Amino acid sequence: MIPLLRVVKQYERLAVFTLGKFNERSGLRGPGLQILIWPFQTGTRIDLREEVINIPRQTNITRDNAPIDITFLVYLRPIESEAQKVVLEVINYHQAVIGMATTILRAVIGEMNVDDVLSQRERINQELRVKLDDITGRWGIRVSAVEIKEIEPAPEIQEAMNRQMSAERIRRAEVTEAEGKRQAEIEIAEGDKQAEILRAEGHRQAEILTAEGDQQASVLRADGFSIALDRIHQVASNVDTNTISLQYFET
Protein backbone atom coordinates (compact mmCIF):
# COMPACT_ATOMS: atom_id res chain seq x y z
CA MET A 1 0.00 0.00 0.00
CA ILE A 2 1.30 3.40 -0.97
CA PRO A 3 -0.10 6.65 0.50
CA LEU A 4 -0.87 9.26 -2.13
CA LEU A 5 -1.14 12.94 -1.23
CA ARG A 6 -3.70 15.07 -3.03
CA VAL A 7 -4.14 18.84 -2.53
CA VAL A 8 -7.76 19.84 -3.05
CA LYS A 9 -8.30 23.54 -3.86
CA GLN A 10 -10.96 25.74 -2.30
CA TYR A 11 -13.25 25.52 -5.34
CA GLU A 12 -12.82 21.74 -5.73
CA ARG A 13 -14.15 18.57 -4.19
CA LEU A 14 -12.53 15.14 -4.38
CA ALA A 15 -14.77 12.14 -4.99
CA VAL A 16 -12.90 9.17 -3.41
CA PHE A 17 -13.60 5.59 -4.48
CA THR A 18 -12.47 2.71 -2.26
CA LEU A 19 -12.20 -0.57 -4.17
CA GLY A 20 -14.32 1.11 -6.84
CA LYS A 21 -17.10 2.04 -4.43
CA PHE A 22 -18.12 5.55 -3.37
CA ASN A 23 -18.84 6.02 0.33
CA GLU A 24 -21.72 8.48 0.82
CA ARG A 25 -20.42 9.54 4.25
CA SER A 26 -16.73 10.04 3.60
CA GLY A 27 -16.33 9.72 -0.15
CA LEU A 28 -16.67 13.45 -0.93
CA ARG A 29 -13.70 15.35 0.49
CA GLY A 30 -13.24 19.10 0.80
CA PRO A 31 -10.29 21.46 0.27
CA GLY A 32 -6.93 20.80 1.87
CA LEU A 33 -4.46 17.90 1.95
CA GLN A 34 -6.13 14.55 1.32
CA ILE A 35 -4.45 11.13 1.64
CA LEU A 36 -5.40 8.22 -0.60
CA ILE A 37 -4.22 4.63 -0.13
CA TRP A 38 -3.10 3.30 -3.49
CA PRO A 39 -4.11 0.99 -5.15
CA PHE A 40 -7.28 0.62 -3.08
CA GLN A 41 -8.39 4.23 -3.38
CA THR A 42 -8.69 6.57 -6.34
CA GLY A 43 -9.99 10.12 -6.54
CA THR A 44 -11.76 12.30 -9.13
CA ARG A 45 -11.63 16.09 -8.90
CA ILE A 46 -14.88 18.06 -9.30
CA ASP A 47 -14.76 21.80 -10.03
CA LEU A 48 -17.56 23.69 -8.22
CA ARG A 49 -17.12 26.98 -10.07
CA GLU A 50 -19.87 28.24 -12.35
CA GLU A 51 -19.40 27.42 -16.00
CA VAL A 52 -20.84 28.90 -19.17
CA ILE A 53 -21.76 26.55 -21.99
CA ASN A 54 -22.32 28.07 -25.41
CA ILE A 55 -25.13 26.21 -27.17
CA PRO A 56 -24.43 26.29 -30.93
CA ARG A 57 -26.90 27.83 -33.37
CA GLN A 58 -30.05 25.73 -33.57
CA THR A 59 -32.76 25.93 -36.23
CA ASN A 60 -36.20 25.63 -34.66
CA ILE A 61 -39.71 25.64 -36.13
CA THR A 62 -42.34 27.84 -34.49
CA ARG A 63 -46.00 26.93 -34.10
CA ASP A 64 -46.82 28.90 -37.26
CA ASN A 65 -44.16 26.93 -39.22
CA ALA A 66 -41.54 29.69 -39.35
CA PRO A 67 -37.88 28.55 -39.23
CA ILE A 68 -35.82 30.53 -36.76
CA ASP A 69 -32.18 30.19 -35.61
CA ILE A 70 -31.32 30.68 -31.93
CA THR A 71 -27.98 30.81 -30.10
CA PHE A 72 -27.94 30.86 -26.31
CA LEU A 73 -25.81 30.38 -23.19
CA VAL A 74 -26.35 28.12 -20.19
CA TYR A 75 -24.85 29.05 -16.80
CA LEU A 76 -24.41 26.08 -14.44
CA ARG A 77 -22.40 24.69 -11.58
CA PRO A 78 -22.25 21.44 -9.55
CA ILE A 79 -24.27 21.40 -6.34
CA GLU A 80 -21.70 21.27 -3.53
CA SER A 81 -23.56 18.77 -1.35
CA GLU A 82 -24.31 16.52 -4.34
CA ALA A 83 -21.13 16.97 -6.37
CA GLN A 84 -20.50 13.21 -6.51
CA LYS A 85 -23.50 12.85 -8.87
CA VAL A 86 -21.49 14.65 -11.54
CA VAL A 87 -19.27 11.56 -11.56
CA LEU A 88 -21.76 8.85 -10.59
CA GLU A 89 -24.83 9.79 -12.66
CA VAL A 90 -23.51 11.07 -16.00
CA ILE A 91 -20.42 10.42 -18.12
CA ASN A 92 -20.02 13.90 -19.64
CA TYR A 93 -22.39 16.43 -18.17
CA HIS A 94 -21.32 19.16 -20.62
CA GLN A 95 -22.52 17.15 -23.60
CA ALA A 96 -25.56 16.00 -21.67
CA VAL A 97 -26.55 19.61 -20.88
CA ILE A 98 -26.06 20.69 -24.51
CA GLY A 99 -28.24 17.83 -25.75
CA MET A 100 -31.02 18.47 -23.23
CA ALA A 101 -30.93 22.25 -23.77
CA THR A 102 -31.31 21.76 -27.53
CA THR A 103 -34.25 19.39 -27.09
CA ILE A 104 -36.03 21.64 -24.59
CA LEU A 105 -35.51 24.71 -26.77
CA ARG A 106 -37.16 23.03 -29.75
CA ALA A 107 -40.13 22.03 -27.60
CA VAL A 108 -40.55 25.54 -26.19
CA ILE A 109 -40.23 27.30 -29.56
CA GLY A 110 -42.61 24.80 -31.16
CA GLU A 111 -45.38 26.05 -28.85
CA MET A 112 -44.94 29.74 -29.77
CA ASN A 113 -45.62 31.94 -32.79
CA VAL A 114 -42.68 33.70 -34.41
CA ASP A 115 -43.89 37.11 -33.15
CA ASP A 116 -43.96 35.79 -29.58
CA VAL A 117 -40.48 34.30 -29.94
CA LEU A 118 -39.10 37.67 -31.01
CA SER A 119 -40.90 39.68 -28.33
CA GLN A 120 -40.79 37.33 -25.31
CA ARG A 121 -37.11 36.54 -24.96
CA GLU A 122 -37.15 36.77 -21.16
CA ARG A 123 -40.03 34.32 -20.93
CA ILE A 124 -38.10 31.82 -23.09
CA ASN A 125 -34.99 32.25 -20.92
CA GLN A 126 -36.94 31.54 -17.76
CA GLU A 127 -38.81 28.55 -19.19
CA LEU A 128 -35.59 27.01 -20.49
CA ARG A 129 -33.85 27.50 -17.15
CA VAL A 130 -36.65 25.91 -15.11
CA LYS A 131 -37.09 22.89 -17.38
CA LEU A 132 -33.36 22.32 -17.83
CA ASP A 133 -32.66 22.67 -14.10
CA ASP A 134 -35.35 20.11 -13.32
CA ILE A 135 -33.47 17.54 -15.44
CA THR A 136 -29.88 18.40 -14.51
CA GLY A 137 -30.72 18.26 -10.80
CA ARG A 138 -30.44 14.48 -10.87
CA TRP A 139 -26.88 14.88 -12.17
CA GLY A 140 -25.94 17.17 -9.28
CA ILE A 141 -25.95 20.21 -11.58
CA ARG A 142 -27.75 23.50 -10.86
CA VAL A 143 -28.66 25.71 -13.83
CA SER A 144 -28.50 29.30 -12.57
CA ALA A 145 -29.42 31.12 -15.79
CA VAL A 146 -30.13 30.77 -19.49
CA GLU A 147 -29.51 33.73 -21.81
CA ILE A 148 -30.47 33.90 -25.48
CA LYS A 149 -27.66 35.54 -27.44
CA GLU A 150 -29.25 35.82 -30.86
CA ILE A 151 -32.57 35.15 -32.55
CA GLU A 152 -32.45 35.18 -36.33
CA PRO A 153 -35.54 34.39 -38.43
CA ALA A 154 -35.18 32.92 -41.91
CA PRO A 155 -34.50 35.54 -44.65
CA GLU A 156 -38.01 35.34 -46.11
CA ILE A 157 -39.53 35.73 -42.64
CA GLN A 158 -37.29 38.71 -41.92
CA GLU A 159 -38.28 40.33 -45.23
CA ALA A 160 -41.98 39.85 -44.49
CA MET A 161 -41.51 41.34 -41.02
CA ASN A 162 -39.70 44.35 -42.50
CA ARG A 163 -42.60 44.95 -44.88
CA GLN A 164 -45.05 44.65 -42.01
CA MET A 165 -43.07 47.11 -39.89
CA SER A 166 -42.88 49.56 -42.79
CA ALA A 167 -46.64 49.35 -43.33
CA GLU A 168 -47.22 49.86 -39.61
CA ARG A 169 -45.01 52.96 -39.58
CA ILE A 170 -46.93 54.41 -42.54
CA ARG A 171 -50.24 53.66 -40.85
CA ARG A 172 -49.14 55.36 -37.64
CA ALA A 173 -47.95 58.41 -39.59
CA GLU A 174 -51.31 58.67 -41.36
CA VAL A 175 -53.18 58.31 -38.07
CA THR A 176 -51.00 61.01 -36.50
CA GLU A 177 -51.55 63.35 -39.46
CA ALA A 178 -55.33 62.79 -39.41
CA GLU A 179 -55.43 63.38 -35.67
CA GLY A 180 -53.47 66.60 -36.12
CA LYS A 181 -55.91 67.86 -38.78
CA ARG A 182 -58.89 66.94 -36.63
CA GLN A 183 -57.43 68.74 -33.64
CA ALA A 184 -56.71 71.82 -35.77
CA GLU A 185 -60.29 71.90 -37.06
CA ILE A 186 -61.58 71.58 -33.49
CA GLU A 187 -59.41 74.47 -32.36
CA ILE A 188 -60.51 76.64 -35.31
CA ALA A 189 -64.17 75.87 -34.62
CA GLU A 190 -63.65 76.62 -30.94
CA GLY A 191 -62.02 79.92 -31.85
CA ASP A 192 -64.93 80.87 -34.13
CA LYS A 193 -67.37 79.94 -31.39
CA GLN A 194 -65.60 82.11 -28.84
CA ALA A 195 -65.47 85.00 -31.33
CA GLU A 196 -69.24 84.76 -31.93
CA ILE A 197 -69.86 84.69 -28.20
CA LEU A 198 -67.70 87.77 -27.69
CA ARG A 199 -69.41 89.63 -30.54
CA ALA A 200 -72.87 88.77 -29.17
CA GLU A 201 -71.80 89.85 -25.70
CA GLY A 202 -70.53 93.12 -27.14
CA HIS A 203 -73.85 93.81 -28.92
CA ARG A 204 -75.78 92.99 -25.76
CA GLN A 205 -73.68 95.32 -23.65
CA ALA A 206 -74.07 98.09 -26.25
CA GLU A 207 -77.86 97.71 -26.28
CA ILE A 208 -77.95 97.75 -22.48
CA LEU A 209 -75.90 100.94 -22.37
CA THR A 210 -78.11 102.58 -25.03
CA ALA A 211 -81.27 101.64 -23.16
CA GLU A 212 -79.86 102.92 -19.89
CA GLY A 213 -78.89 106.20 -21.58
CA ASP A 214 -82.38 106.65 -23.05
CA GLN A 215 -83.93 105.90 -19.68
CA GLN A 216 -81.76 108.43 -17.91
CA ALA A 217 -82.51 111.07 -20.58
CA SER A 218 -86.25 110.51 -20.18
CA VAL A 219 -85.94 110.85 -16.42
CA LEU A 220 -84.00 114.06 -16.78
CA ARG A 221 -86.57 115.51 -19.22
CA ALA A 222 -89.41 114.59 -16.89
CA ASP A 223 -87.59 116.15 -13.97
CA GLY A 224 -87.06 119.32 -16.01
CA PHE A 225 -90.77 119.66 -16.84
CA SER A 226 -91.69 119.06 -13.21
CA ILE A 227 -89.32 121.76 -11.97
CA ALA A 228 -90.62 124.25 -14.55
CA LEU A 229 -94.23 123.68 -13.54
CA ASP A 230 -93.33 124.09 -9.88
CA ARG A 231 -91.73 127.45 -10.57
CA ILE A 232 -94.71 128.65 -12.59
CA HIS A 233 -96.98 127.63 -9.78
CA GLN A 234 -94.87 129.54 -7.25
CA VAL A 235 -94.92 132.72 -9.37
CA ALA A 236 -98.63 132.46 -9.88
CA SER A 237 -99.18 132.10 -6.16
CA ASN A 238 -97.33 135.37 -5.42
CA VAL A 239 -99.44 137.52 -7.80
CA ASP A 240 -102.57 138.96 -6.06
CA THR A 241 -106.04 139.23 -7.54
CA ASN A 242 -105.97 143.04 -8.06
CA THR A 243 -102.90 142.87 -10.16
CA ILE A 244 -104.52 140.27 -12.32
CA SER A 245 -107.68 142.42 -12.64
CA LEU A 246 -105.69 145.54 -13.53
CA GLN A 247 -103.88 143.74 -16.18
CA TYR A 248 -107.17 142.49 -17.45
CA PHE A 249 -108.67 146.03 -17.75
CA GLU A 250 -105.57 147.41 -19.36
CA THR A 251 -105.82 144.75 -21.85
Is 80 exceeded by the pLDDT of residue 9? yes
Contact criterion met (CB below 8 Å) for 77 and 49: yes
User: What's the rounded mean pLDDT across residues 132-142?
Assistant: 95
Comparison of pLDDT for 206 and 68, the residue scoring more: 68
C-alpha 234/C-alpha 116 separation (Å) is 109
Can you give the pTM of this predicted structure? 0.62
- Give me the pLDDT at residue 155, please: 79
- Give me the pLDDT at residue 241, please: 52
- Give me the pLDDT at residue 213, please: 77
C-alpha 161/C-alpha 158 separation (Å) is 5
Q: Within 13 Å and on the Cβ side, how many CA atoms surround 12?
A: 15
Is 50 exceeded by the pLDDT of residue 246? no
C-alpha 146/C-alpha 61 separation (Å) is 20
Q: What is the pLDDT of residues 154-211, one digit of tens each?
A: 777 777 666 766 666 677 777 888 888 888 888 888 888 888 888 888 888 888 888 8
